[in-house]
Structure 1
Amino acid sequence: MVFDSLKNRAGGHDELSPMQIAHHTLFTSKEKIALLHQLKSNVVGANSEGADLGFDPSEIDEAIAEVRRETQDGVGTQTVFRGDA
């Protein structure tokens, strides 16, 4: 039996992009902001050590701004479970 997981739904073993996190229906706005801030902290730390995690901090800032815009418009304050939509 194959178990469905967030990792598989997000495209397999590839990482989620900041904008994919911003638009993901399984996370609330608070969770998205927390994840994006954590990601930004990791990216900034990695960049200062000369490593590249594949995201620019400005991409993460854009995703955070997108979540905030959607929250102001009343979108993304609740998660959507399969069958709810």
Structure 2
Amino acid sequence: MVFDTLKQRMGGGDQLNPMQIARHTLFTAREKLDLLQQLKAEATGAQIEGAAVAFEPAEIDAAIAHVREGVARGVGAETVFKGDF
């Protein structure tokens, strides 16, 4: 029997970074952009306040650019549903 730990319940090592959000198959491109823009706003605000940030705004910008490039190629308009892959 496998017992989970509090760390695993809180996300453990599976927390998403900006590029993982940009490449996630269960989000539409719009959802990805919304999440990344919210993350960027929080990171930028934290930097202005002098607080530590988990992700640099440049890293988030790269993920946003990745999503936009995919949209330009027609990728990411729909989510992946069970049986689609």
TM-score by length of 1: 0.80
Structure-2 residue corresponding to 1:20: 20
Per the TM alignment, residue 49 of structure 1 is displaced from its structure 2 partner at its CA by: 1.3
Moved over 4 A (4+): none
Map Cα deviations across residues 41-65 of structure 1 (whole Å, 9 max, x no partner): 0000111111122200000100000
Percent sequence identity over aligned pairs:
57
Larger Rg: 2
Structure-1 residue corresponding to 2:52: 52
- Count of aligned positions: 75
Give the match's secondary structure for 1:52. Answer: coil
Q: Which 5+ residue runs of structure 2 have no aligned equivalent? A: 1-7
Over 3 Å counting, the alpha-carbon distance change for 1:78 and 1:51 in structure 2 is same
Give the match's secondary structure for 1:75. Answer: coil
Per the TM alignment, residue 19 of structure 1 is displaced from its structure 2 partner at its CA by: 0.3
Per the TM alignment, residue 15 of structure 1 is displaced from its structure 2 partner at its CA by: 2.8
Q: Pick the structure with more helix per residue.
A: 2
Q: Which 5+ residue runs of structure 1 have no aligned equivalent? A: 1-7
